[in-house]
Amino acid sequence: MKKLIWGVFFIFVVNISFSFTNNEEIIYIVDFASVKLFPNYNKETLVHQKIKINGEKGKKLSHLQIPFDSEREKVKFIEGYTLLPNGKKIKITKKDIKIVTPAEFTEYTSLYPGYKVISINFPGVEIGSIIEYKYLIYTFKPLIEKHFWDGFYFQSTEPFLLTRYELKVPKKIKINIFEKDIKLTEKKEKFGYITYIWEKRNVPPIIEEILMPPLNEIVPKVYISTFNSWSEIGKWFYEITKDKKEKNNEIKNLVEKLVENKKSDEEKIITLYNYVCSNIRYVGLEIGIHGYKPHSPEEVLKAKYGDCKDKANLLKKMLEIVGIKSYLSLVNTDTNIEKEIPFPGQFNHAILAIPQENNYIFLDPTSEVIKYPYIPPSEQGKYTLICKEEPELFKIPVFPSDKNLRKREIKAIIDENGNVNGKTQIIPKGIFEAALRNSFRYLKQVERERNLLRELNSILPGTKLISFDIIGLESLENQLIEKYEFFTSGYGIRVKNKIIFQPILIDKLVDLSIVSLEERKYPLRLGYNFRKEEIIEYKIPDNFEIETMPDTFKIEEEFGVFTLNIEKINSGFKIHRIFQINEFEISPEIYPKFKEFYKKVSLYDKLPVILNLKEN
């Protein structure tokens, strides 16, 4: 079922004949949620699902988990059963139901005491079975006083025979409704309540495409909110996150020690940001009010862990001590929000916004590998709600290609047998530096070498690693530099008096899976802009000469650039390859042109150099 749901007592029976073939591994016969909002903004949610299991994938649904916050919610499992292919019905009993704190969260119960999960195992599930269940969630303590929000999605990667959402609201409570690709089916008024019903039948599954947007951006959906503006939400969040001015000198003393020799504001920001990134462990347990309200900076510093808003709020406090203003800012790292319908549930992450002239610097101390002033690609191009005295919905810029740069320089020697020795240096920036840091930071030296050797052999079979070093891994303040030397036997093919080989060694475009479709229904979301440079200087055997090599080549499109420059030098030749992407999302209309661009890059990366034995 598509989430964001909370509810009301309403049970119905529906009989529908199958309109989809049994080739689908999972068929949702009924997908239903009914929500009742009370005048005091408490609410009840009834969830009812009936699912036909036609394949191995469906058997995973035999384990149902219902997470809830015991400090705000109560859950009642009403009924459930497995209907076997032979018609036998096996009912859920008490022994099949357990209320647990997940093992991976037990060590964090001091900050998150209310997190529980009802775990239900359906007995006897096999291919051809039907499972059906109903449960009720009663929310006795709203997250935000006198406010309500909710949402429902009417399509998924599995077919739905009936998908229905009902909302019962007191007539006196004004709600805002956002609909995408669905219209209200029925609206009725009775006993001081208005009931809204949305319904779809025989909904086909979404056929997924590689690197498509998340499902909740493209499926039919309805969002409900009592908020009238983003400013309301920003002011509420600003108030609950205000510093209580606790008398505790621990943070102050730490900050003064960290910035003791730092003169500029930027130096202080970098130092404090790096400290929070590196010394406060991220724990993603965002439930209940603590899904929005951070723990105090003092608690977080003492515990040495916290979630995104805990880490951001600690950094905010540290910056405040050195006189630098900053604000907590809400963003969604998974999907684009719907600006037309404000409610807090559209956000799933908190970062920090630091005013600078007429703009902001955004920092995400949750990431432990992203250097100042970068932020993860999942936050770029997204709307963020900057929570301050006068809140602001602000679109975070997308970093240009040159901010995500990987420059690889190789001094290569090819011998008479086609063997290649290469001395390599890589200087990454942005996402490439973060990825490299993340890959190596927890590994021993021997593990790093083996990982690199495995990667090289996936590109250059028969490669041996001669030496390896990585500089700057110990601190975010340092520029990472990767250096290694490798030897690849038989890279070039010796045919009589000729050696034939592809001059692009490592950064060649081989994988064309992202353009494997002839056409697309949904955008191709690449995620970030980038630039890759590979500069290779080849020394060829003295008794060989260049017979053939690729011509200089350039393709320039709005969404990307590819250049291949090659020139002869005294000892051989030098090749400079640039592959640059300028658009992080390609529309279905532009996709055919992008596909052709991608294929051309791959083709030119394969063009050979031919060396010929000199005549005596």
pLDDT level of residue 245 (50, 70, 90 thresholds): low
Task: Name the pTM for this structure.
Answer: 0.90
- CA 565/CA 553 separation, integer angstroms: 7
CATH numbers and ranges of domains, the chain = 26-226 (2.60.40.3140), 234-395 (3.10.620.30), 402-613 (2.60.120.1130)
Question: pLDDT, tens digit, for every residue of 264-297?
Answer: 999 999 999 999 999 999 987 654 455 678 889 9
- CA 97/CA 306 separation, integer angstroms: 31
C-alpha to C-alpha distances, 316 to 150, 294, 613, nearest whole angstrom: 30, 12, 67
Q: Which residues of 527-601 form beta strands (DSSP E)?
A: 530-539, 544-548, 553-557, 560-569, 572-581, 585-586
Q: How are strands ordered across the β-sheet holding 130-139?
A: 89-91, 73-83, 130-139, 43-53, 26-37, 160-170, 193-203, 186-190
Question: pLDDT, tens digit, for every residue of 203-238?
Answer: 999 999 999 999 999 999 999 999 999 999 999 999
Place of tokens 């549930």: 345
Does 7 score more than 70 pLDDT?
no
Q: What is the pLDDT of residue 9?
A: 32
Question: pLDDT, tens digit, for every residue of 535-590?
Answer: 999 999 999 999 999 999 999 999 999 999 999 999 999 999 999 999 999 999 99
**pLDDT above 70 coverage of the chain, percent:** 93
Question: pLDDT, tens digit, for every residue of 58-69?
Answer: 999 999 999 888
Name the average pLDDT for the chain.
Answer: 92
Contact 598/509 with Cβ under 8 angstroms? Answer: yes
Place of tokens 């400290």: 275
Listed residue (225, 224, 223, 221) closest to 153, CA to CA: 221
pLDDT level of residue 242 (50, 70, 90 thresholds): confident
Does 127 score more than 70 pLDDT?
yes
Q: Other CB atoms closer than 10 Å to residue 129's CB: what's the count?
A: 23
Of the given ranges (5-19, 20-34, 417-431, 509-523), which has the lowest mean pLDDT?
5-19
pLDDT level of residue 424 (50, 70, 90 thresholds): very high
Alpha helices in 494-562 (DSSP H): none
Q: Report the pLDDT averaged over residues 133-151.
A: 95
Does 17 score more than 70 pLDDT?
no
Q: Report the pLDDT averaged over residues 449-453.
A: 97
Listed residue (408, 423, 406, 407) closest to 539, CA to CA: 423
Q: What is the pLDDT of residue 358?
A: 87
- CA 114/CA 105 separation, integer angstroms: 11
β partners of residue 76: 136
Place of tokens 């003791």: 260
Q: How far is CA 134 from the centre of its chain?
A: 31
Q: What is the pLDDT of residue 110?
A: 57
Of the given ranges (63-72, 81-90, 238-247, 519-528), which has the lowest mean pLDDT?
238-247
Does 306 score more than 80 pLDDT?
yes
Does 189 score more than 80 pLDDT?
yes
Does 246 score more than 80 pLDDT?
no
Q: What is the pLDDT of residue 101?
A: 76
Of the given ranges (206-210, 327-331, 356-360), which has the lowest mean pLDDT?
356-360
Q: Report the pLDDT averaged over residues 435-453.
A: 95
Listed residue (301, 303, 209, 290) closest to 255, CA to CA: 301
